[in-house]
Structure 1
Amino acid sequence: ILTGTLASPHIWDTGDGIGAWTGTPEGMETQAISIIAAAISIGYAFGITIVILKVMDAVWPGGIRVTPKEEEIGLDLAQHGERAYVNE
């Protein structure tokens, strides 16, 4: 999105005068399409992530959360049997 916003026609002139800084309707339309496409991509990624997490929570024994006891002990010690740092 910022490539279209920050691009300068003085540095990279395509010759057709299309860009966000030219002030033409085509430049603003192109920028709006880019923003909408980015928003759709973010929404899609967020939605798919939620679906994946819900499926994992339903399929995984005990869900994707650890017990409060394991969380208190520390995940490295509870799940792997060793401390993450020697200084602890």
Structure 2
Amino acid sequence: MSFIENLLQTNSHVHIHNDKRVYVEQTIRSLINDGRKMLHIVADFDFTLTMYEKNGVALPSTFAVIEGDDRVTRMDVGEDAWF
């Protein structure tokens, strides 16, 4: 039984689209292999860390700033990798 199959069988509340299974498994294995020193979490869903607008102009979210930075790379899994 694969890692993902075991995860889905033991956690009935977890659902993964069939076309995303390989990506999800790669991501989870990467998290496990790289360890906590390589994990970075950014959460600013309600704009408490960043300003929403300045002088009437909407500003990008924290995630949009990170996503748009050329120094930040992502796994080569296709254009739809950013969820």
TM-score by length of 1: 0.22
Instruction: Name the structure with the higher helix share.
Output: 1
Larger CA Rg, structure 1 vs 2? 1
> Relative contact order (C-alpha < 8 Å, sep 6+): which is higher?
2
